[in-house]
Homo-oligomer: A and B are copies of this chain.
Amino acid sequence: VLRSFSTRRVATVSSVELADAAGVNPATLRRDLSHLGSFGTPGTGYGVEELLDAVHRALTLSREWPILIAGAGDLGRALARSRGFTTGGFRVAALVDVDPERVGTLVNGIAVHHLDELDAVVTREEIRLGVVATPATSAADIVTRLAAAGVRSILNFAPALLTAPEQIVVRNVDLAAELQMLAFYAARAELEAADPANAPANRTRAAGRIPGRPR
């Protein structure tokens, strides 16, 4: 949101403007920002560029982060080409796979190495972020290898319950779980459409949220 204000050459924003644009509560936004320090000017708001800078520094986005993607299947290749993985300081440095058909090929100009080279590649490129886009059965092995090679945090797309060594952070993106939540909402909507009496009474804001994921 801050970037979009910056693009539109807005000089200052108030917490209310920012919060409205992001869909959050202004007080929460102010408290969150206060953890980074005091950047706002009472009566005026926040300097967009100044705040953008502070946030970038706080989130350590001002340096380049090379990424390794394990699994050069459909998903792995799609991720390697996706905008989210190639902009804003992120760069897919390498892919690894075990399939001889894939090893040695290029995806978006990025080489696909054999799984056995994982450690060497991670070391050479100083990779700290790993992405698991393999079948569930290989995921645990990959995590072990990544951790051993020095990767610090892992984004896992495989539908598996992973255990990683202490200090390694694993974030799971579970597509099946996402769909299950969608289905739950859709089913509830149909139920209500058929009989409005089924509507939960305590629907405070937009929709009864399931805790966990983003908005």
Mark A residues whose CB is within 8 Å of B.
1, 21-23, 59-61, 65, 67, 73-75, 77-79, 81-85, 87-90, 128-129, 135-136, 152-155, 159, 161, 166-167, 169, 171-187, 189-190, 206-207, 212-215
The residue of chain B having its C-beta at the shortest distance from the C-beta of A178 within the complex is: B155
Of the candidates A79, A84, A154, the one having the most CB atoms from chain B within 10 angstroms of its own CB is A84
Using known A-B contacts A178-B173, A189-B167, A215-B172, determine if residue A59 contacts B184 with beta carbons closer than 8 Å.
Answer: yes
20 A–B contacts, CB within 8 A, in A order: A22-B161, A59-B180, A60-B183, A65-B179, A67-B179, A73-B78, A74-B77, A75-B82, A82-B175, A83-B135, A83-B176, A84-B176, A85-B179, A87-B176, A155-B179, A169-B186, A169-B189, A172-B213, A177-B214, A213-B213
- Interface of chain A: mostly helix, strand, loop or mixed: mixed
- Residues of chain B with a CB closer than 8 A to A136's CB: 83
Using known A-B contacts A21-B161, A79-B175, A161-B21, determine if residue A153 contacts B186 with beta carbons closer than 8 Å.
Answer: yes
Shortest distance between the CB of A15 and any CB in chain B (Å): 17
- Residues of chain B with a CB closer than 8 A to A81's CB: 74
The answer to whether B84 and A175 touch across the interface, beta carbons within 8 angstroms, is: yes
How far apart are the CA atoms of A174 and B59 in the complex, in Å? 16
Shortest distance between the CB of A113 and any CB in chain B (Å): 20
